[in-house]
């Protein structure tokens, strides 16, 4: 078949958007058996159509509106858009009247085409296609018009689509296709599905791919969202679905209605920005296929659901949901993570706005979580009534602030600093999670502590998981007399703040040495198994500080205390109470232990004092005499300095005996000497001296 060249006839412009009238349609010869590709008319910029077997080239010398009856390209066919030499930045608008455009072959536009637009309200399907343009490209299902003088394009958002053929469920579908666009690539349609396709945009893959949906609620692709017992069902349009996409460039998504969803992982070598009035789910199906984003991820939604699952973000992860809950799971963040729920709109399913951070999640920088309702670092299976495993690691500071809900932790958490705050309810953990940080701050309107299994007076047993789920679902305030209290477990470090009402209870257990430097609370119950507790500085205020009997070493070293201290003395295993106005003096052990049933290596001791004891000065040894040439040396005697309350009085050197070295088992633990000094018997060795 020889080449056929068909030129458009001369145009008479009767209006700004006047169309070229031709005596017969121009058949490009493409899409045979699939609806064809037939030009109805065009404005004056179309100078000719070159047709050859398997290809058609449209030639232009000005901005042009090409009106197609049908536009289809079969596999192994090519449609070219060619700007004439000497032209630059031409705008070519293609509108389609009938049927979905099925593009299985190749579409090209040369460097003189500044913007190529395909507008088909009936839908567009790219399947196995290859699309290459030097300038900008737009694929849209909106009606469009072109000002051929200025190149300005206007879109009609009220355009409706006909029935989609071939069982297609989306207005625009891109499957197994490759797009290489020198400028910006835009998709504009009510619903879109992009499957296993690759996009390279801008110079060296630094451009933008934009997906914009409009009027998504008018179309029939729906998904029923459900949580818990699902007493309410809410049907939301699925506006955009991206499956295993590969993008060299930035991705921008804007959706006025419906679900924005990515599945099956994917690779975005740039930033990902999503703004939606509906739900947003990044890697909705957590099947192990990772979504990788080399830049930042910024998501703003207003639907019942928002997810980021099995994702890797090299930059910052910022997510905000105004209409429901937000979950980040099995995700790695190279910089900072910021999560927020705002209750911008009522949740259609009836549940509150809260944040889950679960699975194995790592954040290299800071993690900041602000929620209108609950924050749960961890997750649970509502139907099976069990807590899910995981851990959270934060390189910088972890801040979790709940306005009207609990801050709950049921997985291990590690950060440089941990700051938990609940304005209206409680700061809670289960009895297994461990918080590891250098510094901690806890603020609650009620209870601060853990939960454990318990049985009530009627013999009903409540598991920790059941309690967690009930508290999170029902937003129950925990009063002072909680029956299932347990400790919040920390690994050690400095607690800079504990803030809770005066009628509240605080339970903290440390696996390492812990220092308390700030508090304003009721009863603080704190323990450190075989470790040291230091209460320091004038910023610690409480009704009572109760120290668990497992603690090795308790240190109170400041004046002006306004709290009562209760601890277990190792002399007799009885609780000793130090009132706020009571002077503190050293009172050390005689070799007995808090828990005699423990093995010797597990025995513990106590020390209470106003400050670290100065290192003992060596005592002069007896000198040999003719009557006693080998006097015995007493290595068991040392001195410590007792600082008197009256600064005008001199320091007193007081003998100190070590209980581990005493032979006399009846030795009195504290002896008053004739000169008024005190000999203190202490377990040997003591930490910190």
Mean pLDDT for all residues in the chain: 80
Q: What is the pLDDT of residues 69-82, one digit of tens each?
A: 999 999 999 999 99
Q: Measured between alpha carbons, how far is residue 593 from residues 9, 548, 554, 588, 606 in Å?
A: 107, 14, 15, 12, 9
Distance between CA 209 and CA 592 in Å, rounded? Answer: 74
> Residue 626 carries which DSSP code?
S
Q: Which of 267-276, 489-498, 508-517, 636-645 has the lowest mean pLDDT?
A: 636-645
Percent of the chain with pLDDT over 70: 74
Q: Which of 257-261, 361-365, 392-396, 601-605 has the lowest mean pLDDT?
A: 601-605
CB distance 84 to 47 below 8 Å: yes
User: If you average pLDDT over each of 351-355, 560-564, 605-609, which comes out highest?
Assistant: 560-564
Q: Which tokens hold the place of 319?
A: 């997510």
**Residue 170 burial class via C-beta count within 10 angstroms: exposed 0-12, middle 13-18, buried 19 and up:** buried
What is the SS3 assignment for 197? coil
More confident residue, 435 or 603: 435
- What is the DSSP track for 366-405? -EEEEESS-EEESEEETTTTEEEPEEEEESSEEEEEESSS
**Residue 549 burial class via C-beta count within 10 angstroms: exposed 0-12, middle 13-18, buried 19 and up:** middle
More confident residue, 612 or 237: 237
Give the angle subtended at the CA of 231 by the CAs of 227 and 233, to the nearest 5°. 70
Distance between CA 58 and CA 610 in Å, rounded? Answer: 92
Q: Which residues pair with 656 in a beta bridge?
A: 638, 680
Give the angle subtended at the CA of 380 by the CAs of 379 and 384, to the nearest 5°. 165
**Residue 650 burial class via C-beta count within 10 angstroms: exposed 0-12, middle 13-18, buried 19 and up:** exposed
Model confidence at 652: pLDDT above 70? no
Q: Strand 439-443 vs strand 417-422: parallel, antiparallel, or unpaired?
A: parallel
* CATH class of the domain defined by 1-159: mainly beta
Q: Which tokens hold the place of 263?
A: 């599945």
* Torsion angle in degrees (nearest 10) through CA of 306, 312, 314, 320: 10
More confident residue, 558 or 67: 67
Q: What is the pLDDT of residues 160-192, one digit of tens each?
A: 555 554 556 688 999 999 999 999 999 998 889
Cβ contacts of residue 393 below 8 Å, gap of 6+?
Answer: 361, 362, 363, 413, 414, 415
Please report the pLDDT score of residue 159 as a whole number.
65
Name the pTM for this structure.
0.81
Distance between CA 478 and CA 408 in Å, rounded? Answer: 13
Q: Which tokens hold the place of 500?
A: 């809770």
**Residue owning tokens 């139907």:** 383
Q: What is the pLDDT of residues 389-403, one digit of tens each?
A: 999 999 999 999 999
Q: What is the pLDDT of residues 569-585, one digit of tens each?
A: 765 677 888 888 776 54
* Residue boundaries of the structural domains of the chain: 1-159, 637-682
> Residue 253 carries which DSSP code?
E
Model confidence at 627: pLDDT above 60? yes
Cβ contacts of residue 663 below 8 Å, gap of 6+?
Answer: none
Q: Which of 18-22, 52-56, 148-152, 358-362 has the lowest mean pLDDT?
A: 18-22
Cβ contacts of residue 22 below 8 Å, gap of 6+?
Answer: 8, 9, 41
Please report the pLDDT score of residue 95 as a whole number.
96
Distance between CA 194 and CA 660 in Å, rounded? Answer: 76
Distance between CA 31 and CA 107 in Å, rounded? Answer: 13
CB distance 74 to 36 below 8 Å: no
Distance between CA 509 and CA 392 in Å, rounded? Answer: 20
CB distance 91 to 78 below 8 Å: no
What is the SS3 assignment for 467? helix
Q: Measured between alpha carbons, how far is residue 405 from residues 355, 415, 423, 429, 487 in Å?
A: 10, 22, 8, 14, 20
Distance between CA 96 and CA 278 in Å, rounded? Answer: 30
CB distance 177 to 196 below 8 Å: no
Model confidence at 6: pLDDT above 80? no
Q: What is the pLDDT of residues 488-503, one digit of tens each?
A: 999 999 999 999 999 8
Rounded average pLDDT over 205-226? 64
Rounded average pLDDT over 215-238? 49
Q: Which tokens hold the place of 612?
A: 């670290």
């Amino acid at each position: 078949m020889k080449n056929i060249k068909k030129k458009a006839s001369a145009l008479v412009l009767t209006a700004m958007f006047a169309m070229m009238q031709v005596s017969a349609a121009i058949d490009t010869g493409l899409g045979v058996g699939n609806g064809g590709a037939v030009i109805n008319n065009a404005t004056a910029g179309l100078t000719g159509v070159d047709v050859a077997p398997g290809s058609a080239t449209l030639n232009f010398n000005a901005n042009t509106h090409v009106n197609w009856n049908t536009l289809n390209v079969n596999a192994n066919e090519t449609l070219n858009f060619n700007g004439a030499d000497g032209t630059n930045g031409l705008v070519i608008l293609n509108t389609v009247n009938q049927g979905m455009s099925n593009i299985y072959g190749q579409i090209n536009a040369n460097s003189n085409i500044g913007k190529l637009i395909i507008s088909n309200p009936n839908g567009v399907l790219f399947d196995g296609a290859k699309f290459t343009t030097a300038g900008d490209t737009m694929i849209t299902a909106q009606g469009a018009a072109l000002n051929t003088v200025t190149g300005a394009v206007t879109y009609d958002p009220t355009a409706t689509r006909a029935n989609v053929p071939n069982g297609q469920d989306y207005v625009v579908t891109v499957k197994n296709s490759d797009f290489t666009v020198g400028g910006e690539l835009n998709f504009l349609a009510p619903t879109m599905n992009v499957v296993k396709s690759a996009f390279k945009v801008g110079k060296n893959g630094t451009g933008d791919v934009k997906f914009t949906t409009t009027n998504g609620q008018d179309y029939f692709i729906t998904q029923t969202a459900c949580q818990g017992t699902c007493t309410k069902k809410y049907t939301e349009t699925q506006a955009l679905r991206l499956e295993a996409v590969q993008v060299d460039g930035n991705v921008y998504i804007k959706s006025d209605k419906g679900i924005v969803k990515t599945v099956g992982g994917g690779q975005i070598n740039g930033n990902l920005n999503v703004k939606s009035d509906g739900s947003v789910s990044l890697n909705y199906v957590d099947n192990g296929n990772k979504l990788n984003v080399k830049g930042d991820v910024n998501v703003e939604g207003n639907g019942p659901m928002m997810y980021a699952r099995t994702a890797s973000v090299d930059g910052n992860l910022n997510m905000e949901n105004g209409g429901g809950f937000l979950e980040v799971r099995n995700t790695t963040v190279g910089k900072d993570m910021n999560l927020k729920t705002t209750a911008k709109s009522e949740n259609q399913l009836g549940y509150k706005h809260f944040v889950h951070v679960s699975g194995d999640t790592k954040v290299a920088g800071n993690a900041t979580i602000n929620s209108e309702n609950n924050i749960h670092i961890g997750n649970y299976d509502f139907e099976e009534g069990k807590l899910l495993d995981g851990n959270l690691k934060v390189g910088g500071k972890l801040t979790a602030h709940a306005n009207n809900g609990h801050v709950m932790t049921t997985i291990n958490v590690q950060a440089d600093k941990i700051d938990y705050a609940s304005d209206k309810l409680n700061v809670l953990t289960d009895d297994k999670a461990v918080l590891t940080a250098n510094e901690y701050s806890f603020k609650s309107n009620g209870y601060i502590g853990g939960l454990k299994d318990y049985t009530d007076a009627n013999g009903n047993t409540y598991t920790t998981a059941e309690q967690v789920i009930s508290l999170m679902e029902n937003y129950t305030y925990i009063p002072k007399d909680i029956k299932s209290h347990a400790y919040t477990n920390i690994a050690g470090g400095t607690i800079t703040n504990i803030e809770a009402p005066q009628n509240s209870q605080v339970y903290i257990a440390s696996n390492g040495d812990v220092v308390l430097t700030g508090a304003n609370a009721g009863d603080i119950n704190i323990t450190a198994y075989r470790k040291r507790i230091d209460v320091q500085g004038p910023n610690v205020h409480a009704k009572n500080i109760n120290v668990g009997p497992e603690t090795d070493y308790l240190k109170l070293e400041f004046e002006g205390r306004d709290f009562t201290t209760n601890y277990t003395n190792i002399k007799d295993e009885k609780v000793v109470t130090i009132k706020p106005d009571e002077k503190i003096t050293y009172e050390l052990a005689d070799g007995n232990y808090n828990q005699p049933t423990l093995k010797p290596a597990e025995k513990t001791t106590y020390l209470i004092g106003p400050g670290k004891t100065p290192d003992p000065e060596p005592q002069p040894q007896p000198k040999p005499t003719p009557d006693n040439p080998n006097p015995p040396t007493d290595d068991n005697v040392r001195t410590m300095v007792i600082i008197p309350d009256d600064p005008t009085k001199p320091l007193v050197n007081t003998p100190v005996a070590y209980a581990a070295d005493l032979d006399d088992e009846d030795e009195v633990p504290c002896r008053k000497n004739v000169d008024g000094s005190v000999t203190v018997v202490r377990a040997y060795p003591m930490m910190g001296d």
